[in-house]
Amino acid sequence: MMLSFHISIHARSQEVVEAQTIQLDRGAFQALAVPQAALAAPFQISFEEAALALGKLERLFIEPDGSFVWTSPGGGLTWQVDGNLFDRNGRLLFVDLKGSCPSDQFDRLLGALGWPATPVMFQLVREAVFLDETEFRRHAACETKS
């Protein structure tokens, strides 16, 4: 399954709970209620550890500032993910991602951030809405409704 997204990935703290169902261009989704303090919850890994883990993915090129691009292998389905790591106080704070890739490749990217041991949540950048993993994957797999 191909996923298409423009998101920020954050570590999910225990204060985050389900909120109301909202209507988006790709359908109805269960949003998350995210207290302001929860946005400061870092991942369990450092910026450097995340950059090192991401750099081990084939065809992923990462710069010292945390910006990266990951491309598909040649000769088949074409995809690309552009991203940027952000840190605070020595820990990875969140990751911005834009692009598309197969679900299994997305899992590899998340794994470099400590998932599934570290729960995550996804902010849809354009809509400014937070979704849990299940709802995000459902959203990212949908085509935009006309």
Express each pLDDT in 137-146 by its tens digit.
Answer: 999 998 654 3
pLDDT value, residue 32: 98
% of the chain surpassing 90 pLDDT: 92
Greater confidence, 100 or 142? 100
pLDDT tops 70 at residue 108: yes
pLDDT value, residue 122: 98
HSE of 101, CA atoms in CB hemisphere, 13 A:
23
**What's the predicted TM-score (pTM) here?**
0.94
Residues 6+ apart with CB under 8 A from 74: none
pLDDT value, residue 143: 66
pLDDT value, residue 76: 84
The 10s digit of each residue's pLDDT in 49-80 is 999 999 999 999 999 999 999 999 988 889 99
The alpha helices in the chain, defined as continuous H runs, are 47-55, 103-112, 133-141
